[in-house]
Structure 1
């Protein structure tokens, strides 16, 4: 019988290989997109029932927003002041909300995360599952009210009980820096329930965050999600980055490991298919070698 440590290493290795596959070959599920054409056609239609709560969620350590994000936060609040409730969640608020609404997860996983960004990421899924609405990072500014975007999502799928939407992102999948959801969406239930399963050390901080709570974690779980009554749409880059939002430097949690990984990724993208396959095999072999050496040293 395999020991628990061996199974954990096998799981981590398998997930890392899956990550490599996603990044290199860019295989996508049969996703449902929200395009500029959809937006122009459906944003002006009147819907009989609003399903997405008009709440905007943002997070920061305290109520004192960093000066570098004053313009972005102010734009989000100004353009959506008439239609939306605005909630700024501090670290204390986050702990209280997760403890009250997901007590088991809070006790066994949430408080044990080594990095605070993991708690912030996990909170995003918890708050959208329990309250619904929009989550947006502070480094994202707003160009116009999100009301027409939510109206288009509701008009596109009038029969669906649950709606969710995420923007496409690089290097992989979708982003958790901007998320839209109805209250109680099944995908967010899955995201919360699997946080413990993915909670491992993935060798370096950047990969650990991405795989345990961040965009890669979201992308993998969304990739395999399927439901007829719960729609998930991927927002096209033009709709997200040109029509509704603008961006300032963010990624406040990134360290040198993140910079190196992103540099390697952009370098790899320039390689041919054959060379990419060789890189994947070499990297996979290196991961297995690291795990084997760790096992022998114990």
Structure 2
């Protein structure tokens, strides 16, 4: 009888031990699985962090360019250099003092067209020369004298200039160098001069002193300035910043139009304007829809033939962005708010799902 009781007691204790052992083993097993899961997540996070750092290192140039581009697009409608409205046809053509801006006119035509330019372009350039025959110099820049000018004055840039895929990029870049070196006025070949620019030169001379600089360009759509018509003093710091950053911006941004306007075109100089606000006191933007030179149109000073030789298929993508500064500031603001809200909700949703899964 005692034996049976002892046996029952032993079996009961043994079963309790087994239950405890099984429970302990399950607890240890679950804890190990949890530790493995946490370790796995930590490893994955570290891998993604390392890949992120590697991505930044490899594409830091693109990131800097795109950040400058976004900064210009977002901030220009709310904060930009002084926009001026000038009665261009009633300015006095008689000089009132010292001429600070060189009376030099620059035209650029590269590639095969420079050998046999369209007659309409020849007529356009001749109209500007005839109206400004008293200017001290009229430059016609081609592949030959363009590269010779760079080799003599900016030899460090020759290799980059020759690496551009299109003549449009070469022409865009060259205009910044000749204006930096000589000053004066640059005009696209398809701008036909309707009136003298002497009054505008005098107006700008009266706003500057020997120790200062002045730069004027036409407002562009949707943001920034146009680089098809620019007037400046020699060695303007803005052009120094532009030419110093041309090598950084010499990248392929997938879309042909985007590559041109960001690497050397209007956005290239507009980005530098937004990044260097200390220069805004020497920068003027000619305001007014009537002065914009996009497409075939007449302005008070020019007849724009609107050749659009460098516009590509993706041009409409940019021109349809609802950012008309004069009439659509509200639409632009709402678009930015909606975009930021979407990004915020998207990441918050992903974060909550991650917490639930964890």
The interval holding the TM-score normalised by the smaller chain is 0.7 to 0.9
1:58 aligns with 2:110: no
The answer as to whether partners of 2:273 and 2:280 remain within 8 angstroms in 1 is no
Question: What does residue 213 of structure 2 align with?
Answer: 162
SS, match of residue 64 in structure 1: coil
Q: In structure 2, do the counterparts of structure 1 residues 100 and 147 end up closer, same or farther at CA, with 3 Å as the change threshold? A: same
The reply on whether 1:176 has 2:227 as its aligned counterpart is: yes
Deviates more, 1:125-134 or 1:77-86: 77-86
Counterpart in the other structure of 1:215: 266
Counterpart check, 1:67 vs 2:116? no
Distance of 1:250 and 1:260 partners within structure 2: 19
Partner of 2:314: 257
What are structure 2's unaligned runs of at least 5 residues? 1-49, 294-298, 344-358
Question: Quick check: 197-206 or 37-46, which moved more?
Answer: 37-46
CA distance in 2 between partners of 1:133 and 1:100 (Å): 20
| 1:141 match: secondary structure | strand
CA–CA separation in structure 1 for the residues paired with 2:274 and 2:82: 11
Q: For residue 46 of structure 1, what is the aligned residue in structure 2?
A: 96
Matching residue of 1:12: 62
Deviation string 1:93-125 (CA, Å, 9 cap, x unpaired) is: 211111221111213x22222222111111001
Paired residues in the alignment total 279
Name the SS of the counterpart of 1:177 in structure 2: strand
User: Residues 230, 249 of structure 1: CA spacing in aligned structure 2 closer, same or farther, 3 A cutoff?
Assistant: same
Which sections of structure 1, spanning at least 5 residues, go unmatched?
A: 284-298
Bigger relative contact order (CA 8 A; separation at least 6): 1
Q: CA deviation at 1:258?
A: 2.1
- The structure with more radius of gyration: 2
1:199 to 246, 250, 261: 250
Q: CA deviation at 1:261?
A: 3.6
Mapped partners of 2:308, 2:235: distance in 1: 28
Distance 1:82 1:45 in 2: 13
**Structure 1's 66 and 8: CA in aligned 2 closer, same or farther, altered over 3 A?**
farther
- Kept in 2, the 8 Å contact 1:166–1:178? The answer is yes
Q: 1:39, 1:267 → 2: CA distance? A: 29
- Where does residue 148 of structure 2 map in the other structure? 96
Give the direction of change, closer, same or farther, for the CA distance of 1:226–1:39 in structure 2 (3 Å limit).
Answer: farther
Alpha-carbon deviations, 1:149-205, whole Å to 9, x = none?
111001122355322111111122111111111111111111111111222221212
Provide the secondary structure at the position in 2 that maps to 1:175: strand
Corresponding residue number in structure 1 for 2:30: none
The aligned counterpart of 2:9 is none
The answer to which structure has the higher helix fraction is 2
**Over the residues paired in the alignment, what is the CA RMSD in angstroms?**
3.2
> Which residue does 1:290 correspond to in 2?
none
Structure 2 counterparts to residues 20-169 of structure 1, below 5 A: 20=70, 22-23=72-73, 26-36=76-86, 46-47=96-97, 49-61=98-110, 62-107=114-159, 109-158=160-209, 160-169=211-220
Aligned residues of 2:215 and 2:233 also touching (Cα < 8 A): yes
The answer to whether the 8 A contact 1:52-1:132 is kept is yes
- Secondary structure of the 1:83 match is coil
